[in-house]
Structure 1
Amino acid sequence: MATEIRPPRRDEMHAYYRVLPYANGLPQWEPENAAWHGGPEPWPPQRAPATAQQLELWALDHEKDPSFHPVAAFTDGECVGASATISFEVTVPGGAAVPMAGVTSTAVLATHRRRGHLRGMMQAMFDAALRRGEPLAMLSASEGSIYGRYGYSPATHRTRWELDRHQAALLPAAPDPGSLELIRADEARRLWPALHAQVRARRVGELTPLSDQWDGLSDGAEGTGGAWRHLVHRDRHGAVDGLARFRLPWSPTAADAGTLVVEALEATDPAAYRALWALLLDFDLTKRVVAPARPRDEPLRWLLANPRAMRVTRQSDNLWARLLDVPAALARRSYDSPGELAIAVDDDLMCPANNGTWLLHAADGAAASCTATDRRPDLTVTTAALGSLYFGGASAHDLAWAGRVTAHTEGALGQLHRMFRTDPEPHNSFGF
């Protein structure tokens, strides 16, 4: 059998889509209680297989999108594997926006697994991303045991929490100088891109939005999901500094009735953040608030008179990261603590140029540098561990105890922690 790994031609796109779970009605996620889902069931219902008309609309849209880079595996001319990268920018520590290849929609036909097709597609995507000047790759792992073998490791996380309304009292604070307003979806579509751009500039791990990111905002209901509602906060000058999207889904059971689900909330100011939550936590005819896909270090907990009232009910990794060009990536982020470390990488089979010892130097007020060195390494770090460390949300101590970081000089592990860790933790508000 002859195997090819290459981008699909335009006339092969329908066959390409039919490999993918979202197009053929198969599960897209582990059958667990997902942290990104606000409902009581384990995961949202699967879609019906896409029609030929839908496949053609996707093909037309992707043909016009320069950020979409599909790749496929063909055996004797039949498409048996499919994946793609989307070109994003991601905010890294220090606020720089770094080009990133977002791997999405990946599958191999059940009849053709365990033959190296996924590795071949991943290698092709890494090589193409490097040619485009993207030193990072990221993805959402539909199954936690798959992507570590390609050098990925969790970099951002998300939690689903809930709070009973009668326990949601906030600590006293100064009166809100701004104002709140319920708005229609068309207004939210207009306002959200500019607000997200401000949030993204200061939130490590946040992404540039997809071209249609907010096109689906609607005032209508989705089955039993309840009608969407959109809430805006404006500061005392009338400028938008916060937005939230929520719904009140119908439930056939008393246990889940009266639940308000906050699907998204972004704010650029603490007063706006507090004001949005104050209203959502005291909405008439509700008894519970559920917020999926929130940061692990949600500030709301510290606003509550009873911090225990906010219960984390689900938690998982979100985006996994992989450094494709170690020196370029390490030089693009900044480091809160100045220092110098010689970091050895010796296990990267897919991007072999990363193997070697790299001297990372960060000084106060100056750009970081990362260059090859003959110096004895202070630490050896696995490719996967670098992905977790890069955005500042992982513990160097934990990775060392797991055998993924090995210190060779006294104090090197503490220096690694001080240089790489960020506060607040990295977070991204949407996936791809």
Structure 2
Amino acid sequence: MAIQVRPPQRDEMHAYYRALPFANGLPQWEPAAAAWHGGPEPWPPQRTPATAEQLEEWAEADVKDETFHPIATFADGACVGASAAISFDVTVPGGGTVKVAGVTSTGVIATHRRHGYLRRMMQAMFDAALDRGEPLAMLSASEGSIYGRFGFSPATFRARWELDRNDAALLPAAPDPGSLELVDAAQASQSWPVVHAQVRVQRPGELTPLPGRWDSLSDNADGTKGPLRYLAHRDEHGEVDGIANFRLPWSSTAANAGTLVVEALEATNPTAYRALWSLLVDFDLTRTIVAPGRPRDEPLRWMLANPRAMRITRQSDNMWARLLDIPRALTQRSYDTVGEVVFTIDDDHMCPANNGTWLLRAGDTSVTCVATDQQADATITISALSSLYLGGMSAQNLAYAGRITAHADDVVARLNRLFRVDPEPHNSFGF
């Protein structure tokens, strides 16, 4: 059997899509309660298979998109596996951004699994990302046991929480000098990029939106989910500094009636954040507020008179990270403390240039990461270092799990001081 792993040609794009679960109406997420889904059921229904017209629309758009890098496996000329990397940026500690290869839409058809095709496609995407100067890869894992073998590891988390309206009183606060306004989709689509651009630089883990991210916002109903509604906050100068998307879905059961689902909410300051939530948790003729895909350390909890009222009903990892170029990635983020650590990587079989002993030194004004022949303070797996990178993971927990082997008594504490950030990283949307 002749095997090729390469980008598909234009006339092969329809076959490329048909190797992907989402284009065929097949399961694309493990059957577990999804923290990104706001409905009462564990996960949304599967999509219907794409039509030939949809496949052609996708192909026309993707071949023109310079940020979209498809890869496919061909067995005797037939496309049996497909994936893609999307080039974008992610905010890292310190407010800077790093170029990322976002791995997405991955699948191998059922008759050709267990032949190593996914690994070969992943290797091809890693090599291409390094050629493009992208030192980091990220993905949202559809199944928790697949991507660790390629060096990926959880780097951000998300939670779905619920709050009873009758138990949602907020603590007193200073009067809001701004105002709230219900807006339509056209206004929301203009406000979202402005607000997100300001929020993103403050939030490690946040993604730079791809073009057209908010173009599809609509005022039209979406089946029983109802239409999206949009709530904006303006500061005392009339500028939008916070916005939320929410729904009031219909339910056939009394248990789920009167639910308000907050699908997205961002604010550039605490005043706007509090004002948006103060209305959403006390909306007329509702009983329960549900918010999926939220940070684990949601500040709203500490604004409630009863912080126990906010119940986390689902929680999961969100974005997984994978360092492709260790020195380039580590020197493009900042560190809150001055310090250094010498560590060894010896398990990276896909990006062998990462293997070796490295001296990471964070100074007052500069960061360096260079190969060294010094004795290592620790041996770290590539997946553990990838988890530490955005600042949301505990080096102590990784050491307990055997993913960091300490050779110096204080190295785990040093790693925690160097890498951790507060608040922890979060990304409000995926790709």
Alignment TM-score, normalising by the size of structure 1? 0.99
Map of 1:44 onto structure 2: 44
Please tell me the residue identity of whatever aligns with 1:344: T
Map of 2:420 onto structure 1: 421
Per-residue deviation, 1:117: 0.3
Map of 1:181 onto structure 2: 181
For residues 274 and 199 of structure 1, the distance between their equivalents in structure 2, rounded to whole angstroms, comes to 15
- The number of residue pairs the alignment matches comes to 431
Please tell me the residue identity of whatever aligns with 2:166: H
For residues 149 and 98 of structure 2, the distance between their equivalents in structure 1, rounded to whole angstroms, comes to 24
CA deviations 1:130-179 (Å, max 9, x no partner) are 00000000000000000000000000000000000000000000011100
Map of 1:250 onto structure 2: 250
Map of 1:404 onto structure 2: 403
CA deviations 1:355-387 (Å, max 9, x no partner) are 0011000012x1211000000001111000011
For residues 220 and 45 of structure 1, the distance between their equivalents in structure 2, rounded to whole angstroms, comes to 20
For residues 217 and 37 of structure 2, the distance between their equivalents in structure 1, rounded to whole angstroms, comes to 17
CA deviations 1:35-83 (Å, max 9, x no partner) are 0000001111111100100000000000111000000000000000000
State which drifts further: 206-215 or 96-105. 206-215
Please tell me the residue identity of whatever aligns with 2:368: S
For residues 182 and 21 of structure 2, the distance between their equivalents in structure 1, rounded to whole angstroms, comes to 37
Map of 1:340 onto structure 2: 340
Map of 2:139 onto structure 1: 139
Map of 1:130 onto structure 2: 130
Per-residue deviation, 1:88: 0.8
Per-residue deviation, 1:288: 0.3
SS at 2:331 equivalent: helix
Please tell me the residue identity of whatever aligns with 2:428: S
For residues 95 and 368 of structure 1, the distance between their equivalents in structure 2, rounded to whole angstroms, comes to 15
For residues 308 and 317 of structure 1, the distance between their equivalents in structure 2, rounded to whole angstroms, comes to 23
For residues 129 and 123 of structure 1, the distance between their equivalents in structure 2, rounded to whole angstroms, comes to 10
Map of 2:322 onto structure 1: 322
Per-residue deviation, 1:396: 0.5
Map of 1:207 onto structure 2: 207
For residues 183 and 146 of structure 2, the distance between their equivalents in structure 1, rounded to whole angstroms, comes to 42
For residues 301-312 of structure 1, the aligned pairs below 5 Å read 301-312=301-312
Per-residue deviation, 1:410: 2.1
For residues 261 and 254 of structure 2, the distance between their equivalents in structure 1, rounded to whole angstroms, comes to 16
Following TM superposition, the consecutive aligned residue runs of length 4 or more in structure 1 with deviations greater than 3 angstroms are none
Map of 1:293 onto structure 2: 293
Please tell me the residue identity of whatever aligns with 2:379: T
CA deviations 1:322-377 (Å, max 9, x no partner) are 0000111011111101101111100000000000011000012x121100000000
Map of 2:233 onto structure 1: 233
Per-residue deviation, 1:227: 1.5
RMSD of the alignment, in Å? 0.6
For residues 31 and 259 of structure 1, the distance between their equivalents in structure 2, rounded to whole angstroms, comes to 24
CA deviations 1:184-239 (Å, max 9, x no partner) are 00110111111111111110000010212112211111111011100000100111
Map of 1:58 onto structure 2: 58
Please tell me the residue identity of whatever aligns with 2:367: A
For residues 48 and 306 of structure 1, the distance between their equivalents in structure 2, rounded to whole angstroms, comes to 43
Map of 2:376 onto structure 1: 377
Please tell me the residue identity of whatever aligns with 2:388: L
SS at 1:337 equivalent: coil
Alignment TM-score, normalising by the size of structure 2? 0.99
CA deviations 1:86-120 (Å, max 9, x no partner) are 00100000111110000000000000000010000
Please tell me the residue identity of whatever aligns with 1:68: F
CA deviations 1:286-305 (Å, max 9, x no partner) are 00000000000000000000
For residues 227 and 329 of structure 1, the distance between their equivalents in structure 2, rounded to whole angstroms, comes to 41
Please tell me the residue identity of whatever aligns with 2:29: W
Please tell me the residue identity of whatever aligns with 1:408: H
Per-residue deviation, 1:123: 0.0
SS at 1:102 equivalent: strand
Map of 1:161 onto structure 2: 161
SS at 1:202 equivalent: coil
Please tell me the residue identity of whatever aligns with 2:376: P
Map of 2:92 onto structure 1: 92
For residues 56 and 212 of structure 2, the distance between their equivalents in structure 1, rounded to whole angstroms, comes to 18
SS at 1:255 equivalent: helix
Please tell me the residue identity of whatever aligns with 1:284: D
Please tell me the residue identity of whatever aligns with 1:409: A
For residues 341 and 254 of structure 1, the distance between their equivalents in structure 2, rounded to whole angstroms, comes to 57
Please tell me the residue identity of whatever aligns with 1:159: A
For residues 343 and 47 of structure 1, the distance between their equivalents in structure 2, rounded to whole angstroms, comes to 46
Please tell me the residue identity of whatever aligns with 2:16: Y
Please tell me the residue identity of whatever aligns with 1:36: W
State which drifts further: 217-226 or 290-299. 217-226
State which drifts further: 90-99 or 208-217. 208-217
Map of 1:80 onto structure 2: 80
Per-residue deviation, 1:121: 0.2
For residues 126 and 263 of structure 1, the distance between their equivalents in structure 2, rounded to whole angstroms, comes to 33
Matched, 1:430 2:429: yes
